[in-house]
Amino acid sequence: MKNSTIRFIVILATLSIVGITITQLYWVRRAFDLKEAEFERTVTAALYNVAQQIYEIKDTPSPANNPVKQLSTNYFVVMVNSEINARLLEFLLRTEFEKRNIVVDFEYGVYDCTREQMVYGNYVPLKSNQKTSSQSLPEWANKGYHFGVQFPNREAHIINQMGIWSFSSIVLLVVIVFFGCTLFVILKQKRLSEIQKDFINNMTHEFKTPISTIAVSTAVLKDPSIVDNPERLLSYATIIEKENTRLKQQVERVLQMARLDKEEISLKHECVEIHQLIGDAIRNTSWALHEKQGEVNTIFEATQPEIQADRLHVTNVLTNLIDNAIKYCKGKPAITIQTANTTKGLLIEVKDNGIGISAENQKRVFQKFYRVPTGNVHDVKGFGLGLNYVKTIIQAHGGNVTLTSQLEKGSVFSVLLPLAH
Ligand code: ADP
């Protein structure tokens, strides 16, 4: 799929998700407001009925104006101005609310108007099926009383009433998560296919060069006159040998990663002396170093350089790091390899004066097949497997590898390995 098509799909998908979410939020808010207004109306009507029943029972004339006042979204006051019997009041409130399907806990308080004081209050858990409290409740014979009612779980009750809206919001959430996952998979697949394409391109290129060099050299060697020129013969034979070694190394690298992929890494632990392995790795890369007229400086400060490790794998790791330090340097490579003993283990630092790696790419270079993008020009060949191999092997040894780097200044790869006991 083309990049522009994918970008178009991502933008369209994001816009539609944002649009649907905003619409849903708008309708849920409106539904909540409507339910809230309905709740307030029903409570007012219920309280009005309670007041009327109290007037009737106490034989008091009902006032001309509505005795129910809503003082805030969740607080209603009823001016009774009559005797109040708490037991009767609680019974009437309960009955009126249940009749109107307001099945939610409420609190009420009885106030003495003359003294402006609350004389009684109770919390009534309507949700539980407990009937009117059996304890004897107080009764006031004075005339000047009013009562107030509020609902501590009002919001939960209103949300409960919005069943279809809650359901549709959950469905929408599931759709959004599903949509997000699909997009994530598409993008991941696209990245994988790009990586695969790059890898195949790289591999073909890497193999093609030594193969054609060998083919040309073989053609020269087939010329009978070459026997008269032993120097030329030797130089072409050396070219073939060198290219053959390169091919072997490349095949080995790909095979190594394929093997790591398939099975658990089996390490052959033995006591090795790290300075000796560093020496081996430097020798492995001496040809490339010589070609670029570079030099390696070693500062061996580790007084306890022995570790339990797999000789072959650790030598490969060091070879990869030195090889990269040589490859990714535009001028003459100046590489410093330093060792030290720290409290956490044996530290090996490979420092170079190469092109460096930007902060954004530093996290990615350890990923399999990742190569720092250089546009279409790939003057340095590789498969993007080396650092992934380094990380896998060092972690399998119980150590870790970190990178600090600055563009155009150089990089330092620090490998920390646990010491042999
Ligand atoms: P390869 O070298 O085969 O591409 P690696 O996994 O060894 O694969 O490296 C991944 C990428 O990290 C390289 O493509 C390169 O861009 C970058 N890199 C690795 N080592 C260095 C270094 N010493 N200096 C600058 N860039 C580096």
Whether residue 7 sits in one domain with residue 140: yes
Shared domain for 320 and 403, answered yes or no, is yes
Binned at pLDDT 50, 70 and 90, residue 134 comes out as very low
The ligand 1 site (C-beta within 6 Å) comprises 320, 324-325, 328, 352, 354-357, 365, 370-372, 382-388, 411
In this structure, the residue with its CA closest to atom 20 of ligand 1 is 324
For atom 25 of ligand 1, which residue has the closest CA? 356
Same domain, 287 and 176: no
Phi, psi of 119 (to 5 degrees): -105, -20
58 lies in the same domain as 183? no
In 96-224 the beta strands, taken as DSSP E runs, fall at 106-112, 117-124, 139-140, 145-150
Cα of 125 vs centre of ligand 1, distance in Å, is 69
Question: Is residue 174 located within the same domain as residue 54?
Answer: no
Reported as a pLDDT band with limits 50, 70 and 90, residue 156 is confident
Domain boundary residue, one of 261, 286, 312: 261
In a shared domain, residues 99 and 11: yes
Atom from ligand 1 closest to the CA of residue 320: 7
- Residue at 356: amino acid letter: G
Instruction: Give the domain-ending residue among 207, 226, 261.
Output: 261
Asked if residue 333 and residue 367 are part of one domain, the reply reads yes
Q: How many structural domains is the chain composed of?
A: 3
Whether 109 and 18 share a structural domain: yes
CATH code where residue 202 lies: 1.10.287.130
CA of 196 to the centre of ligand 1 (A): 17
Q: Are residues 298 and 370 in the same domain?
A: yes
**Average pLDDT of the residues in 14-25:** 91
| Most confident stretch, 9-18, 164-173, 231-240, 405-414 | 405-414
216-232 in b/e form (b: 16+ CB < 10 A) is: ebeeeeeeeeeeeeeee
What share of the chain in percent tops pLDDT 90? 44
Same domain? For 323 and 236 the reply is no
* Cα 396 to ligand 1 centroid, rounded to whole Å: 21
189 plus 134 within the same structural domain: no
* CATH assignment at residue 323: 3.30.565.10
Domain range for residue 277? Answer: 269-417
User: pTM here?
Assistant: 0.57
Q: How far is the CA of 199 from the centre of ligand 1 (A)?
A: 14
pLDDT band at 138 (very low <50, low <70, confident <90, very high): low
* Best of 250, 360, 365 for a ligand 1 pocket test (most atoms within 8 Å of beta carbon): 365
Shortest-distance Cα residue to atom 19 of ligand 1: 324
Cβ-defined contacts of 392-399 (< 8 Å, 24+) = 392/260, 392/265, 393/265, 393/310, 393/313, 393/314, 393/316, 393/317, 394/317, 396/265, 396/267, 396/313, 397/267, 397/309, 397/310, 397/314, 399/345
Atom of ligand 1 nearest to the CA of 371: 14
Over residues 322-341, the pLDDT tens digits come to 999 999 999 999 999 999 99
- Tell whether 386 and 406 lie within a shared domain: yes
CA of 380 to the centre of ligand 1 (A): 9
Tens digit of each residue's pLDDT (9 = 90 or more) over 73-117 = 889 999 887 777 788 888 999 999 989 988 889 999 888 777 777
Mean pLDDT of the chain: 86
Please report the atom of ligand 1 found closest to the CA of residue 354.
Answer: 24
Tell me: the pLDDT tens digits for 356-387?
A: 999 999 989 999 888 888 765 557 777 888 89
Final residue in a domain of this structure, among 244, 261, 278: 261
Probe ligand 1: pick from 329, 350, 372, max atoms within 8 Å of CB?
A: 372
